[in-house]
Amino acid sequence: MSKTGANFGGTVGWDEQTVIGKRAPRAGELKSESAIAAAQRAGVQIDTAKKYAAGNNKQHESAKNTAILDRETEELHHDRINPDVARAIQQARIAKEWTQADLARHVNEKQQVINEYEQSKAIPNQQILSKLERCLGVKLRGKEIGQPFSTGPKKK
**What is the residue extent of each domain of the chain?**
83-141
Three-state secondary structure call for residue 115: helix
Write the CB contacts of 7 (distance below 8 Å, at least 6 apart in sequence): 1
CATH class of domain segment(s) 83-141: mainly alpha
Lowest mean pLDDT across 62-66, 100-104, 122-126: 62-66
State the Cα–Cα distance between residues 12 and 83, nearest whole angstrom.
92
Model confidence at 9: pLDDT above 90: no
Mean pLDDT of the chain: 77
Q: What is the pLDDT of residue 101?
A: 93
Q: What is the pLDDT of residue 145?
A: 84
Model confidence at 2: pLDDT above 50: no
- 132 and 117 Cβ atoms separated by less than 8 Å: yes
Lowest mean pLDDT across 18-27, 55-64, 68-77: 55-64
Phi–psi pair at 138, nearest 5 degrees: -130, 140
